[in-house]
Amino acid sequence: MQTELEIFREFIRSKGLRQTPEREIILAEICRKREHFDVDELFLRLRGQDKKISKASIYRTLPLLVECGLIREVNFVDGHWHYEQIYGQPHHCHLRCLSCGAMVEFEEPRLAAVEAELSRKHGYQIIKHVLEVQGYCPHCHQKSSARDEEAKHV
């Protein structure tokens, strides 16, 4: 299996772009700590390590990393995209709390059967699916039921 860096360098070459150390530092940080992130979080992580990377270069680099399949857009929340590293990782879907934003990652093998069924029925060659299930986590759910209870007793 090729490393992330090899894939990225090949991709940059194939696009006729110039290889820059900034882009590689950004990629290395994303691979070092595999978790969901947005531009601001990544910027702060890099700054915490005294890496002088501008937000502008993060904004420019992330679409390239998406395009070559190393990361993916997870969701558009609070007015901006959130990402995660996916290369070499098993596929997963997300369960997201609409109140606090907490996310649970899960795998659902039955979705493979849904894909196969869709392929058969509509003649599509299936590449992927994107699924986000939304609701309220136990903590937020409890808080809001407590609020409802209080309202009843006023």
- Residues forming the site for Zn ion (CB under 5 A): 84, 93, 97, 99-100, 102, 105, 131, 137, 140
Token pair for residue 101? 């934003």
Q: In the complex with Zn ion, which residue's Cβ is closer, 25 or 93?
A: 93
State the nearest-atom distance from the C-beta of 121 to Zn ion, in Å: 19
Q: In the complex with Zn ion, which residue's Cβ is closer, 63 or 135?
A: 135
State the nearest-atom distance from the C-beta of 109 to Zn ion, in Å: 9
Q: In the complex with Zn ion, which residue's Cβ is closer, 109 or 123?
A: 109
Beta strand pairing call for 80-85 and 93-97 = unpaired
| Contact status, residue 29 vs residue 45, Cβ threshold 8 Å | yes
Q: Is 38 helix (H, G, I), strand (E, B) or coil?
A: coil
Neighbours of 143 (CB within 10 A): 14
Give residue 80's identity as a one-letter amino acid code.
H
State the nearest-atom distance from the C-beta of 52 to Zn ion, in Å: 29
Q: In the complex with Zn ion, which residue's Cβ is closer, 67 or 132?
A: 132
State the nearest-atom distance from the C-beta of 37 to Zn ion, in Å: 11
Nearest to 42 by CA among 4, 103, 9, 84: 84
